[in-house]
Amino acid sequence: MLEDKHKKAFNKIKTANNILLVTHYRPDGDALASLCVMSDVLDSLGKKFTAFCQDPAPSQFNFLPNVEKIISDRSKLNFSSFDLIITLDCGDLSRTALVDEIPARKSDQTVIEFDHHPKVDDYADLKIKTVKTSSTSELLYDFCKINKIKISKNIATCVLTGVLTDTGNLMYDNTSDKTIKIASDMLLYGAHLPTILDNTWRNKSVGGMKLWGIAMRRLSVNKKYNIASTVLTRKDFVDTKASDEDMEGVPGFLSNLSDVDSLLVLRELDNSQLKGSLRSMNDNVDISKLARKLGGGGHAKASAFMLDAKLVKTGDEYRVE
Ligand SMILES: [Mn+2]
């Protein structure tokens, strides 16, 4: 049972000497918030720990308490010194960026996984996973409640941030009655909603908005599959002076389309890769099947994939090459 697993995880934490917290590369709000929640819990227990994420936190999340503790420099990680490794929001091993270290761990090194992605990648000793939970942050709220850990103002801020960013401000259908109840509770525990929204949603730059404009202008619909798609090239980012962070929220916003079943947003990253973000607006379309075919993964309604490719313009159209 999940409750027993939460208790077991807490016991492991209490007896551990040196803990590694890991969240996924290219971290989003839920990834960072869950890392920060767990940092707060470990701090209050007086535990020695390191919080690691392969990529640095986008500056919009600087308001999250504990985010300054996260390190991205791998050379500072002495993996063999940890007796407990806790992964947060990493549906599969590759997302931890510790693909060599975790499978090769010693027998006295335990891995606990907290996650809400459907993918079952068997890399942890103790898996606390449920796809019915809006976010890993919501899962950590359960962890705190079950183990009678005091919800500090800092924890409340992080949990609410993770919940809001993973549910599109409670608008996606991973939002349950419980999710809304937790969000409301977090306000009672001291989370400040305007601060969270100012940093995560009302944070668009002029360049960023122009980039959103390009994404909207290029929308086209494939009638056969009733899928809308759009593309953003590196040049668009340069022309609008927008950053990758400005791109956050575009797929979610475009998924407000009502007359198509699904959506694809393809954009060039700065490392000669393409990232495809997929959304399904139809309960009968599990878009993660397409994501998995293309080497990616995610949820039925929101998933993503990466390609080693670029966008080439021919006339008014863009081709993946
Ligand atoms: Mn998440």
Domain segments of the chain: what residues? 2-200, 206-320
> Separation of 28 CA from ligand 1 center, angstroms?
8
Per-residue pLDDT band at 43 (split at 50, 70, 90): very high
Between the CA of 31 and the centroid of ligand 1 the distance, in Å, is 6
Domain 206-320: CATH architecture, name and number where available: Roll (3.10)
Cα of 166 vs centre of ligand 1, distance in Å, is 6
Predicted local distance difference test score (pLDDT) of residue 91 = 87
225 Cα distance to chain centroid: 28
**Distance from the CA of 30 to the center of ligand 1, in angstroms?**
5
State the pLDDT confidence band at 75, using cuts at 50, 70 and 90: very high
**Distance from Cα 223 to the centre of ligand 1, integer Å:** 31
More confident of the two residues 172 and 190: 190
DSSP code of residue 168: T
Q: What is the rounded average pLDDT for all residues in the chain?
A: 96
Cα(321) to centroid of ligand 1, in Å? 30
Determine the pLDDT at residue 270: 83
Structure-token pair, residue 107: 């027998």
Q: What is the pTM of this model?
A: 0.91
pLDDT at 120 over 80: no
How much distance in Å is there from the Cα of 111 to the middle of ligand 1?
19
Q: How many angstroms is it from 271 CA to the middle of ligand 1?
A: 24
Q: If we measure between CA atoms, which residue out of 74, 96, 76, 75 comes closest to residue 86? A: 96
- Say how many Å lie between the CA of residue 138 and the centre of ligand 1: 9
pLDDT of residue 272: 87
Asked whether the predicted pLDDT for residue 119 surpasses 80, the reply is no
Q: How far is the CA of 36 from the centre of ligand 1 (A)?
A: 13
110 beta partners = 84
Amino acid of residue 63: F
In the predicted model, what is the mean pLDDT of residues 119-132? 90
Q: Which two tokens stand for residue 274?
A: 């393409």
- Percent residues over pLDDT 90 in the chain: 91
Task: Place 271 in a pLDDT band, splitting at 50, 70 and 90.
Answer: confident
Residue 71 CA to ligand 1 center (angstroms) comes to 20
Mean pLDDT to the nearest integer, 53-68: 96
Domains 2-200 and 206-320 share a fold: no
> Where does the chain show beta strands of DSSP type E?
18-23, 48-53, 70-71, 84-88, 110-115, 126-129, 220-222, 227-232, 262-268, 274-280, 297-298, 302-307, 311-314, 317-320
- Distance from the alpha carbon of residue 315 to the mean position of ligand 1, in angstroms: 38
- CATH among 3.50.50.60, 3.90.1640.10, 3.40.190.10, 3.40.50.720 for 2-200: 3.90.1640.10
